[in-house]
Amino acid sequence: MESALQAFFDVAYDDPAFRIALFSTLVLTALALSFGMLAIVLRFRRDRADARRAALEAEWESGLMDVLDGRKRAEDLAATVARADLAAYLDLLYRIGRHLHGAHLDVVRCAAAPFLPDLVQALDGQDAETRAKYIQILGVLGFDEHHDVILRSLGDASPLVAMVAARALMRRGRHAYARDVLQRLSRFETWSGSTLSSLLAVMGPGASPALREALWDERQPVWVRVTVARALEKLHDFESADLAVALVQNDPPSELLCASLDLLGSIGREEHVPLLRACCNHADEEVRISAISALGRLSGNGEAEALLRSIGDESPWVAMNAARSLKKLEGGRMLREIAASGHERAALIEQILLEP
Amino acid sequence: MSALLLVLLAVFHAIAFAYFVLLNGYYLMASVFSFRALRRYARRLSSIDVDDLVSTAGAPPVTIIVPSYNEEAGCLEAVRSLLSLNYPEHEVLIVNDGSTDRTLEILAEQFQLIPAPRFPLADIETAPVRSVYQSRIHPNLWVIDKENGRRADAINAGINYCRTHLFCATDADCILERDALIRAVRPFLEDETTIASGGIIRVANGCKVGNGSVERVRLPGAPLAKFQVIEYFRAFLAGRVGWDALRIMLLISGAFGVFRRDLVVKVGGYSARSIGEDLEITIRLHRYCMENNIPYRISFVPDPVAWTEVPEKLRVLGNQRDRWQRGLIDTMVKHRAVLFNRRYGRIGMIAFPYFFVLEMLGPFIEAVGYVVLTLALVSGVASPYFAAIFLLMAIVVGMVLSVIAVALEELTFRRYPRTSDLLQLLILCVAENLFFRHILTYYRFRGIVSYFRGIDGWGSMERAGFGRAEGVVA
């Protein structure tokens, strides 16, 4: 034992490589212990912070109920909030406020109002995530007084902040900002077109004139025009029909052609049927799908033959849409006959017949 | 000892040392990137309103494809969890892959399945489909009954019947949290070039499961499952978050991933005979997009959670890791053209070499290392003190990585609310590196041997079901 220990110390003190290995092991052990301690400290700190925050929130929520019931003034509630707890207070109000409308939301806004100027001042110098959070709060609790700040944030260097600002502007009834958002839409090119068009549509029919301008504007990138067309479709904007016809006739890129056909399917009239019929034989599968769907929505029984032909289309997606259109058109009688005849798409037709 | 043998020993030592430095350096680097990415993500989360996201009509419909083979024990909870997801529009497609137990009967009884016509919209080749059923009480629940193929074959059958732009592949032994799908779909909303995204997998053993959701999170009772909790932390919180930050996501876990249907169809679906189908499809998607100059993004999102049962018995764990290793080798060999190929950018130069050298060859190097070390010690070539300090250092480095993973969890999601669970996890970081990792090395080495012996079976997995003490049994 003694000799082994002696040998160990000989190696430990004489061999530099061993000393490095030993030192590294000790450093790594210290590192492991430090991280372990950090995890434990984090746990206790966060438990304590969570407990304190829960207690504060319970107190504020109760105060807010009093304000909503008229037993207390919003200013009095705000006066109970320490500056250090401002972020937690506003976060709570935001979480409550986003579910409220009308007079109730106004009360929550009053409770937040004394602190919002500080929030605006603090915007500069914060990281992107914090700025986004602040803009989100302003969008719900202080939009009317601070819409200029939110508008400015559309041009924020951070895409996250810009998107949160756009989201704050794209709310029900805020159509006055449609042009501002459309001007900055290129910031959100990577976003899903479907999400953007839904957000634009949320602004309401008041946004339609601005959307129609953007749809007709050839300087706009194709994806913007497609997004706008989809928003108009969701808004059922009947005034866009002539625009959609003109676009289809101009043979635009296929994405825009599809969006225009879908728009036409939503708001078009029977006089547009020949135009749609012509697109049913387009080389692009997506265009055929849009044309078939639109045809089913607009046409009368006269178009059943065209739809029947499309059930035999090489693309099952076109066939499925043609079958759905035909079902809408004549209630399924023809489809049942085709299914019974042993048509190659019989299984698909049966599926469509059973769909609600 | 001959000079040749000494040279061989020296060369192997150099290889083993390089492997040690590379492996741990890589993990440490990934942990640093994960730390930064997770901190940022945690802050970012507060500016993302999930309810708002759900209410936005732009969230695309998703089909959830669940391959099921002999899942009678856990399929009900899994289906309930899928039906109760907080998502605007989703269909659930259970693909009964020729189960020999009562999986189909249980589903039929519980969800009132009736035969219903449904036309396939893609034609990826699969084992024959026998019947398609729809639930009378949940019209968005469908069951496709087919002859037995493999997991990949079952997912392909689901893809054929998928009618939505996106599909989510998960397992019948997984429970998705209510917001998991919308969180996993978020990358598709924020970046139109996203073609796939994955979420975190957590260990369900020990947790209380009811009504299709995890109601109370606790550490498992079985030591083997406890070790896997840390292993999953390391793999997801320290590994994949780091990969995502570096944009080198080479693996979307089969247990929970969302994909663009059209692209998966274009690449021919999952490789039906593959047993590492999740890694294989992810690499194929990377290759397809890069070879065709398609801008794309494959993302990992750390907060959508899928809870899964992990093996609690050594034999089952051994079978699982053996299979994973064979799947890994099979995929690496199939896509070897990617290795150090600049055409594939970071994937070819960083991610694929990591899997190839450190994950595929690693168990071989480690296993041979133990043998060589023993030989060197017995023959008196190596100093026992150096050998001891090297082993100790390896254990301590492993400990550091495990503790970092636990600290990352504590810094961000804190899913284990009891302080006693945290303390246990920290203690387990030591024990894990003394025993568990060596056991895994053995099973992975066995996987290499199995691969070269031509064994390609999947192996049967019987499950006890969620919330039961035994967990997974063989």
- How far B20 CA lies from chain A's nearest CA (Å)? 13
Beta carbons of A11 and B383 less than 8 Å apart: yes
pLDDT for residue B469: 37
| Residue B4: band (very low, low, confident or very high) from pLDDT cuts 50, 70, 90 | confident
Partners of B429 on chain A (C-beta within 8 Å) are 32, 36
The arithmetic mean of pLDDT across residues A73-96, rounded, is 88
Count the neighbouring beta carbons within 10 Å of the beta carbon of residue B333: 11
Quote the domain boundaries for residue A293. 269-356
Alpha carbon dihedral A76, A82, A83, A87, in 10-degree steps, equals: -90
Inter-chain contact B410–A43, Cβ cutoff 8 Å? yes
Domain count, chain A: 2
* Chain A interface includes B380 (CB < 8 A): no
Q: What is the pLDDT of residue A348?
A: 84
Distance between CA B468 and CA B464 in Å, rounded? 6
pLDDT in tens, A160-177: 888 888 888 888 888 898
Cβ pair A354:B192 closer than 8 A: no
Quote the pLDDT of residue A337: 84
For B390, the closest of A21, A136, A350 (CB atoms) is A21
State the smallest CA–CA distance between residue B67 and chain A in angstroms. 22
* Domain stop point among A117, A144, A169: A169
Are the Cβ atoms of B44 and A28 closer than 8 angstroms? no
Which residues from chain A sit within 8 angstroms of residue B192, using beta carbons? 189-193
What is the number of alpha carbons within 13 Å of residue B451 lying toward its C-beta?
25
Average pLDDT over residues A66-79: 84
B56 touches chain A (CB under 8 A): yes
Strands B256-260 and B194-203: antiparallel
What tens digit of pLDDT does each residue of B109-126 get? 999 999 988 888 899 999
The pair of three-digit structure tokens given for residue B464, joined into one six-digit string: 């006890």
Q: In this predicted complex, what is the ipTM?
A: 0.80
DSSP state of B311: B
Chain A partners within 8 Å of B32 (Cβ): none
In three-state secondary structure terms, B364 is helix
Q: Which residue has the higher pLDDT, A335 or B196?
A: B196
Query: Torsion angle of alpha carbons B354, B355, B360, B363, nearest 10°?
Result: 50
Q: Of A18, A192, A354, which has the smallest distance from its Cβ to B58's Cβ?
A: A192
By C-alpha distance, the chain A residue nearest B399 is: A32
Q: Do B389 and A320 touch (CB under 8 A)?
A: no
Q: Does B262 touch chain A (CB under 8 A)?
A: no
Give pLDDT, residue B474.
26
Name the residue among A8, A17, A42 with its Cβ closest to that of B411: A42
Would you call B389 and A22 a contact, using CB atoms and an 8 Å cutoff?
yes
Q: Give the structural domain span for B87.
A: 59-344
Q: Would you state the pLDDT for residue A188?
A: 84
* CA A228/CA A188 separation, integer angstroms: 13
What is the distance in angstroms between the Cα of B455 and the nearest Cα belonging to chain A?
39
The arithmetic mean of pLDDT across residues A174-191, rounded, is 87
Distance in Å from the first CA to the final CA of chain A: 85
Residue B468, pLDDT > 70, answer no
Q: Which two tokens stand for residue B138?
A: 């949940």
Q: Do the chains contact at B191 and A190, CB–CB below 8 Å?
A: yes
Distance CA B442, CA B462 (A): 23
CA dihedral B427, B429, B430, B434 (to 10 degrees): 140
- Residue A325 to residue B183: CA distance in whole angstroms: 34
pLDDT digits (tens, 9 = 90+) for B401-455: 999 999 999 988 899 999 999 999 999 999 998 889 999 999 999 999 999 998 8
Task: Identify whether A214 is part of a domain.
Answer: no
| CA distances from residue B438 to A153, A221, B23, B113, B366 in whole angstroms, order as listed | 54, 57, 15, 47, 9
CB contact under 8 A, B189 and A195: yes
CATH of residue B146's domain is 3.90.550.10
Between A25, A35, A189, which is nearest B407 by CB?
A: A35
Closest CA relative to residue B113, chosen from B88, B70, B143: B143
The domain that contains A296 carries what CATH number? 1.25.10.10
| B454–chain A Cβ distance below 8 A for any pair | no
User: Which of B338, B229, B341, B221 minimizes the C-alpha distance to B279?
Assistant: B338
Give me the pLDDT at residue B341, please.
Answer: 96
Tell me the average pLDDT across B60-66: 94
User: B107-131: b or e for each residue (b if 16 or more CB lie within 10 Å)?
Assistant: bbeebebeebbbbbbbebebbebee
Give the pLDDT of residue B54.
63
Tally of domains in chain B: 1
Q: Given pLDDT bands bounded at 50, 70 and 90, which one contains residue A36? A: very high
Closest CA–CA distance from residue A283 to any residue of chain B (Å): 18
